[in-house]
């Protein structure tokens, strides 16, 4: 059933106070509102209202065992959501909240199993985005807010992406600026003895090690899990972020990448099969390539790669790309998060030169 979707303008929470009030009102009534955060746009609903959360799964087409992150505006909102928190939680909150870090902790009874995808743990984050914080505060409830895209498609980093995916399926989309980080938050589990990174993001393993003294990175971050393995983070088992084209990650130096892509493109041209072939590359690669190119940033500017990634993946669909050779980023700093997302978008097809 189609819904009437409102576009609510909030660039500045003070100047656009009426927009904040309207978004909060819809959320308190159990509505769904796409809101900006510093990572990606989130599709928000009252995290403690199971019916509202079920509507989020439905609007996204998200499998119901893929848990949601609960967003809070103040540290005081945390104790009611979790049954307990180890000392590392306070250390990490001091260091990285508000910001792009999500912590997985034992859930309290207040958080419905619908929100946690049936798990006895809950993922919690305090975003730094002023609009997200203003809306959470005005709603007065913690907000479940998975990425505001249809499940499986690239995450939304502009309000236009949310409109493309969710218009007619949600109550409102907040019109605001593009997201500064561009990839989803780092997810760290504090359920074991040593913090474990389940999903890399802008807060790096090294950042967490510095604060907690130790950290591990889940296998699934860089490797395809066997079909029957239990994923520590359910989201990692799904195909993700993928445009319609077949992507291949190509890892190697600038010259090796150019030689590989030019060779393959030459073959496709000779066979008359070059329609829809694209090189998704770095700025520095463009002049070396014969195939049509689309750049996602400078080779060593990992932050700009993260910022551009999902928009470029969406542009590939608009260009009707069919075969795409992506120059793999260095898996360093936030580049690890970019690499992790691209691996999934490429269904783990990697060519190492
Ligand atoms: P999204 O909301 O689309 O950014 O996805 C949130 C992701 O966080 C999920 O797909 C999970 O992989 C992870 N996550 C959320 N809650 C938990 C949890 N309780 N335990 C482990 N991973 C979680
Ligand atoms: Mg998502």
Residue 318 in tokens: 């608009």
Residue 148 CA to ligand 2 center (angstroms) comes to: 7
Q: 201 and 183 in contact (C-beta within 8 Å)?
A: yes
- Which ligand 1 atom sits closest to the C-alpha of 199? 12
Q: pTM of the full predicted structure?
A: 0.96
Structure confidence at residue 231 as a pLDDT band (50, 70, 90): low
Residue 19 CA to ligand 1 center (angstroms) comes to: 29
**Which has the closest alpha carbon to 190: 113, 85, 260?**
85
How far is Cα 65 from Cα 197, in angstroms, rounded to an integer?
A: 20
Tell me the residues surrounding ligand 2 (ion) with CB < 5 Å. 147
Mode of pairing for the β-strands spanning 196-199 and 186-189: antiparallel
pLDDT tens figures, 168-215: 999 999 999 999 999 999 999 999 999 999 999 999 999 999 999 999
| Closest ligand (CA of 102) | 1
Structure confidence at residue 239 as a pLDDT band (50, 70, 90): low
Averaged confidence pLDDT in the chain: 95
How far is Cα 348 from Cα 112, in angstroms, rounded to an integer?
A: 34
- Which ligand 1 atom sits closest to the C-alpha of 102? 8
Note the pLDDT of residue 242: 76
Note the pLDDT of residue 236: 62
C-alpha count within 13 angstroms, C-beta hemisphere, residue 136: 28
How far is Cα 348 from Cα 175, in angstroms, rounded to an integer?
A: 34
Note the pLDDT of residue 169: 98
Report the Cα 203 to chain-centroid distance in Å: 13
Residue 270 CA to ligand 2 center (angstroms) comes to: 39
- Which ligand 1 atom sits closest to the C-alpha of 121? 19
- Which ligand 1 atom sits closest to the C-alpha of 40? 4
Give residues with Cβ within 8 angstroms of 242, minimum separation 6: 152, 153, 154, 313, 344, 345, 347
**Which has the closest alpha carbon to 104: 122, 83, 84?**
122
Residue 27 CA to ligand 2 center (angstroms) comes to: 20
pLDDT tens figures, 269-296: 999 999 999 999 999 999 999 999 999 9
Name all residues whose Cβ lies below 6 A of ligand 1. Answer: 66-69, 104, 116, 119, 121-123, 146-147, 184, 187, 198-199, 233-236
Note the pLDDT of residue 238: 58
CB atoms within 10 A of CB 44: 33
pLDDT tens figures, 91-132: 999 999 999 999 999 999 999 999 999 999 999 999 999 999
How far is Cα 115 from Cα 120, in angstroms, rounded to an integer?
A: 10
- Lowest average pLDDT, out of 83-92, 178-187, 237-246, 336-345, goes to 237-246
- Lowest average pLDDT, out of 29-38, 135-144, 220-229, 257-266, goes to 220-229
Asked if residue 328 has pLDDT above 90, the reply is yes
Note the pLDDT of residue 226: 73
Note the pLDDT of residue 243: 81
How far is Cα 199 from Cα 335, in angstroms, rounded to an integer?
A: 13
Q: 283 and 304 in contact (C-beta within 8 Å)?
A: no
| Closest ligand (CA of 240) | 2
Asked if residue 232 has pLDDT above 70, the reply is no
| Closest ligand (CA of 39) | 1
- Over pLDDT 70: what percentage of the chain? 96
Range list of H helices, 111-190:
130-139, 159-166
Number of DSSP helices (H) and strands (E) in the chain, helices first: 9, 16
Residue 122 in tokens: 């809950």
Residue 44 in tokens: 């928000």
Got the DSSP string for 5-17?
A: PEEEE-SSTTTTH
pLDDT tens figures, 15-67: 999 999 999 999 999 999 999 999 999 999 999 999 999 999 999 999 899 99
CB atoms within 10 A of CB 308: 19
How far is Cα 28 from Cα 182, in angstroms, rounded to an integer?
A: 28
Helix then strand then coil, in percent of the chain rounded to 5, is: 35, 20, 45
| Closest ligand (CA of 156) | 2
* Euclidean distance between the first and the last CA atom of the chain, given in angstroms as a whole number: 49
Probe target for ligand 1 pocket from 199, 201, 340, with the most ligand atoms within 8 Å of CB: 199
Probe target for ligand 1 pocket from 37, 68, 107, 184, with the most ligand atoms within 8 Å of CB: 68
How far is Cα 316 from Cα 180, in angstroms, rounded to an integer?
A: 21
**What does the radius of gyration of the chain's CA atoms come to, in whole angstroms?**
20
Asked if residue 234 has pLDDT above 90, the reply is no
Asked if residue 230 has pLDDT above 90, the reply is no
H/E stretch holding 206? helix 205-212
């Amino acid at each position: 059933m189609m819904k009437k979707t409102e576009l609510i303008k909030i660039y500045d929470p003070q100047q656009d106070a009426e927009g904040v009030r309207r978004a909060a009102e819809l959320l308190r009534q159990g509505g769904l509102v796409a809101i900006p955060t510093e990572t990606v746009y989130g599709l928000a609903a009252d995290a403690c209202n199971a019916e509202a959360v079920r509507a989020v799964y439905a609007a996204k087409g998200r499998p119901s065992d893929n848990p949601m992150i609960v967003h809070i505006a103040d540290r005081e909102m945390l104790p009611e959501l979790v049954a307990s928190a180890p000392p590392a939680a306070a250390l990490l909150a001091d260091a990285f909240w508000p910001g792009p870090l999500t912590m997985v902790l034992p859930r309290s009874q207040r958080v419905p199993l619908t929100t946690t995808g049936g798990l006895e743990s809950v993922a919690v984050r305090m975003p730094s985005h002023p609009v997200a914080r203003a809306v959470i505060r005005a709603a007065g409830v913690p907000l479940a807010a998975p990425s505001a895209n249809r499940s499986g498609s690239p995450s939304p980093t502009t309000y236009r992406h949310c409109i493309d995916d969710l218009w007619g399926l949600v109550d409102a989309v907040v019109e605001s600026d593009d997201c500064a980080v561009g990839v989803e938050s780092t997810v760290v589990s504090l359920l074991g003895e040593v913090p474990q990174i389940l999903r890399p993001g802008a807060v790096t393993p090294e950042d967490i090690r510095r604060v907690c003294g130790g950290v591990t990175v889940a296998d699934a971050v860089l490797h395809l899990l066997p079909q029957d393995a239990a994923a520590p983070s359910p989201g990692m088992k799904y195909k993700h972020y993928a445009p319609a084209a077949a992507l291949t990650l190509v890892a190697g130096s600038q010259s090796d990448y150019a030689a590989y892509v030019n060779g393959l493109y030459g073959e496709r041209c000779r066979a008359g099969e070059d329609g829809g072939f694209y090189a998704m590359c770095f700025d520095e690669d463009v002049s070396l390539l014969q195939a049509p190119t689309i750049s996602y940033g400078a080779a060593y500017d990992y932050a700009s790669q993260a910022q551009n990634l999902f928009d470029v993946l969406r542009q590939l669909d608009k260009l009707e790309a069919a075969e795409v050779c992506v120059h793999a980023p260095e898996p360093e700093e936030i580049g690890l998060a970019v690499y992790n997302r691209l691996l999934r978008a490429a269904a783990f097809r990697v060519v190492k030169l």
